[in-house]
Structure 1
């Protein structure tokens, strides 16, 4: 389909696709950068990195799921009358040896041109989405976006980005490396901690300089943490109707401890943990507590706005 299309009597409406390692997201919206009004929001568990995340290749079954999903997205975009379309490919796509084959197939089947962005560009868009949600203050925060393939760390406040870096240590990669038995053994947790300590030295040095006072989690696993906590306490929670959320530290630490000791059946039965996240939430939880402890951060909040809202804010400007 063409990237630009302006049907009669339709307001400026844009579509953004965030093509992640685990999930493909489609957000269709209109409005302004600070007042994004969602028209359609769809998430599909494509798992483009399944079976190939550590090999740097998109496996045939995942390839086919990805193309099929993009065909579905194209139809929804056409039905919605979106004027402008962008599809953003992140970690799994930018690192796969056959990513160009996938991009070419999607273009052939749908007319949608996928843009591969760098980890630095990804972090910048995540910051824009978080900032647009209104959860940042004048104090410095550490923004953490845990994807399946990569994790973006950003130091910033409501006015500016101070430092950003993307690391290829996403939940799917950590799971493949360390979570091969369930529940995850204590020894594997120790090995993961040693690995993260060696990998994230740049982050620790930056933290000394920028002194964050709060950790801001970007959607994903942090949405699951919030929904599990709220539903366990008998309160309704809908990520689609929530921009930001402040965690009670004891509740969050207690949940992370339970997840770390849990098995697949327990996690699968928890309302708030979507199927694609049932196993990867273990490594996401361990990474979260690792960062909190290493940097001495006890205040944690969450924004459901992230990369796709950051791209959309740019499109609607």
Structure 2
């Protein structure tokens, strides 16, 4: 457990693909970066008519990912975690592209929501800077979106992702070079209009008189800071983390950049690879954000999303227990928050979750070989399986699917949220079928198998609390070689014959028996034995 581990994280961004390879020292716990890779593939240059990722951009991305895999392998990385953000999220063919990546390279890419992207950026920044429990605003300007985060070392108070990014705005709103006055002023007004609401929402979480520090991450901000450092100091500090960029300098730089054509911008000292094409839009986003936030300076942090992916992996694998302990329970807290939002009876849903996990644990290695990650997905689905009642009792399992799918669960990838929503969807009525659109949305055969097997367990767990009064105290499973699963049920009250629970179990067991190819035999103990 205390041996150093090598891990790689890849971020498929709208402008660039980035990889960081780190050495994790579990005994500290900490990680050090041993390699960084970057390729400007411009996934965000999507087809103007359809919004699809273009074949050229996808080819560039696959070539970059293949190279990244080679580097990671040469450094003995035990695992590569890859995430995709706004360009892939929004493209109609984005999920097909990720399936192609998996079949071509054997690399599974997790699609994450804008809020989840913001949360992981927060984790990345926390790993590289000391906040001293003081509130900080983090801004990350990407190719397709801008994330704004308010946090103070512990839980993020506010997470937002807004569809303003340097590639997106350049593609959609800039057609002149140098940019014309009309396009410049429209771009400025558009950015301000898009950022006003997330800034107001963030400010609502501030306490009166709190002193703030603004932290900036990602390529646009690092480039702007590098340009200031070269101009004012004649050199670029290493590392760049901690360097301060001023709003006064930024305003002056924006006025100069808007008068230059692309070739002139590319020649400016400190301008990074292909950044000249999108720097005007990126700089305007930062200028307007700093103005709205009333911040005269910004502190650069070189750690961001990909480092946050590493931290999140360390949290979920139990390698961080002190400084970020609160963050490690973000999944559970997010599930409970959604349950409360949709007025779920938590006492009941927690009993169902306990039954589901007990069945999961006791049938492991006999009926399935899923691990801790799948176990947690089952818990989440069990807690939220009835949230659809918030919409309507009729077809509430289908409403549960949509509420979970669109509920902004934090800590989970899009694929994991899709799994949770599907498990909840199939806790009653028909089992999963290929013709069901929500079942088709699952990204792989493995994910579909998780849903079919874990939803079968959840059906039994729901049956075990049919009256929602906790009639069954606990259960005990015994697997027999003749492919029989004997389920001993222990009633909470000895005089209760639990007839409704036993009837419900009998009614729901067909799906379970068909999925696992076993016969289910349930008995009530220690009261009179009742066969099912």
- 1:277-300 CA-partner distances (Å, limit 9, x unpaired): 112110011111111222221121
- 1:216-255 CA-partner distances (Å, limit 9, x unpaired): 111211110111112223543266x333322244333332
Aligned to 2:16: 23
Q: Work out whether 1:74 is the aligned partner of 2:69.
A: yes
Task: Spell out the pairing of 1:128-207 with structure 2 (5 A cutoff).
Answer: 128-207=123-202
> For residues 161 and 55 of structure 1, what CA distance do their matches in structure 2 show?
36
- 1:244-268 CA-partner distances (Å, limit 9, x unpaired): 3222443333323322333212210
Aligned to 1:304: 302
Tell which deviates more after alignment, 163-172 or 185-194. Answer: 185-194
Cα offset for 1:165? 1.0
TM-score by length of 2: 0.54
Q: Work out whether 1:278 is the aligned partner of 2:273.
A: no
Distance 1:93 1:130, change over 3 A: same
Query: Runs of 5+ in structure 2 lacking a partner?
Result: 320-532
Q: Work out whether 1:244 is the aligned partner of 2:242.
A: yes
> For residues 48 and 7 of structure 2, what CA distance do their matches in structure 1 show?
31
Distance 1:34 1:131, change over 3 A: farther
> For residues 61 and 104 of structure 1, what CA distance do their matches in structure 2 show?
17
Distance 1:77 1:178, change over 3 A: same
TM-score by length of 1: 0.89
> For residues 237 and 60 of structure 2, what CA distance do their matches in structure 1 show?
27
- 1:70-111 CA-partner distances (Å, limit 9, x unpaired): 111111122111112101111111111112222122112221
> For residues 248 and 16 of structure 2, what CA distance do their matches in structure 1 show?
30
> For residues 14 and 161 of structure 2, what CA distance do their matches in structure 1 show?
14
CA RMSD of aligned residues (A): 2.3
Task: Spell out the pairing of 1:247-258 with structure 2 (5 A cutoff).
Answer: 247-258=245-256
Q: Secondary structure at the match of 1:200?
A: helix
Distance 1:271 1:52, change over 3 A: farther
Distance 1:112 1:280, change over 3 A: same
Q: Secondary structure at the match of 1:210?
A: coil
- 1:117-157 CA-partner distances (Å, limit 9, x unpaired): 00011000001111111153443222111111111111222
Q: Identify the match of residue 267 of structure 1 among 262, 265, 268.
A: 265
Q: Work out whether 1:295 is the aligned partner of 2:293.
A: yes
4+ runs of 1 displaced by more than 6 Å?
Answer: none
- Kept after mapping to 2: 8 A contact 1:53/1:149: no
> For residues 314 and 43 of structure 1, what CA distance do their matches in structure 2 show?
21
Name the count of aligned residue pairs.
Answer: 308
Task: Spell out the pairing of 1:89-104 with structure 2 (5 A cutoff).
Answer: 89-104=84-99
Q: Which has the higher contact order (CA 8 A, sep 6+)?
A: 1
> For residues 53 and 135 of structure 1, what CA distance do their matches in structure 2 show?
43
Aligned to 1:12: 5
Aligned to 1:7: none
Cα offset for 1:65? 0.7
Cα offset for 1:205? 2.1
